Structure formats: C-alpha cells, structure tokens
Amino acid sequence: MKKISHRFLRLNLIRILSQSVFVGVIATTSLVSSVWLINSNAYAQNPPTVSSNEIISYAKTMLTMEPLRQQAFDEIKKMIGSKEVPQIVCNDKNSFNSLPNKAKDIAVNYCQRYQKVVEDNGMTIERFNRITLEVQNSEDLKRQIYNTLLRLQKNPES
C-alpha cells in the first residue's frame, strides 16, 4: 500500500512541478521577448504554423533558461534587498536603469545568454518571439509545448 501511495505522490509532484515550470517559463519568455517583438517585422494575420522541430527547440530553450532565470532573479533580489525586482526587458535599456550596477550586469548577462540559447537551439529571436505570441493565443500549441516539456524532462536525450 505504501508503494502505491508513494508512486501516486511522486506522479503528482512531477505533474505539479512540470506545470509550475511551464507557467514560469511562459511568463518569463513573455517578459524577455516583449521588446524583442517591437524590433521584429510584422507578420500576416495568420501566422505560420509551428513545426514539430520548432516546438522541440522552443521547449529546449525554455528548459535551459528557466533555472538561469531563477538564479539571476535570486541574485538580483539579494542585491536590491526588500525592494521589488523591477520588470526587466532585454531590449529596453531603460528597464535596467533602476538596478544597481552589479545587478545590471547580471541582467545583461542573462539577456545575452537567453539570446545565445535561442540561437543554439536553431531559432532566431524573431521566430522564438512569434511562437511565444502564438502560444499565448493557442491552447493547442500550448498543449503541444507542455507535452514536449514533459517528454524532455523525462528523457532529455529525445
């Protein structure tokens, strides 16, 4: 009986953690990419479909960057103390202004790393941002990315 309860608890924890990571990653991705979108070209009313390879690249980027985002946020939070961490938008230099110099360096480093990880996963920033927008408007795409995140967490080699 304990073995069944343990498995059930473990599966619930995995599901809850996966959902938390997914929500956090989508929120972070939205913040990071919001200004990048301003600089990207407009696209047609019906955006192009997202291929399975793009879904995998997008999910891999999100999984790579989420722990780095948390680390950067924690480091900045420690530096600014009890004040709330301001919204940091990578392509908006003004969003860095209220940060102390060392915290500003952490934010800049994070943004540079984010762009590199996107590119290392075979995407352009513009395409990554378009997918981010589409995820916000498409339950089907959101589900596909969520399932890909789960699969990659279970088997990172796939």
pLDDT in tens, 44-55: 445 558 999 999
Q: Looking at residue 80, what is its pLDDT?
A: 86
Alpha-carbon distance 110 to 33, whole Å?
13
At 124, give phi and psi (nearest 5°): -95, 160
pLDDT tens, position by position, 64-97: 999 999 999 999 999 888 788 888 888 778 888 8
Backbone torsions φ then ψ of 66, nearest 5 degrees: -60, -50
Say what the pTM is.
0.67
Quick one: pLDDT at residue 87?
83
Spatial contact of 128 and 38, defined as CB atoms under 8 Å apart? no
**pLDDT (0 to 100) of residue 39:** 43
CA distance 66 to 80: 21
**Is residue 48 within 8 Å of 134, Cβ to Cβ?**
no
Residue in 44, 37, 45 with CA at minimum distance from that of residue 92? 37
Percent of the chain beyond pLDDT 70? Answer: 69
Phi, psi of 137 (to 5 degrees): -110, 0
Read off φ and ψ for residue 44, nearest 5 degrees.
Answer: -55, 165
As a dihedral over the C-alpha atoms of residue 126, residue 58, residue 87, residue 73, rounded to 10 degrees, the angle is: -140
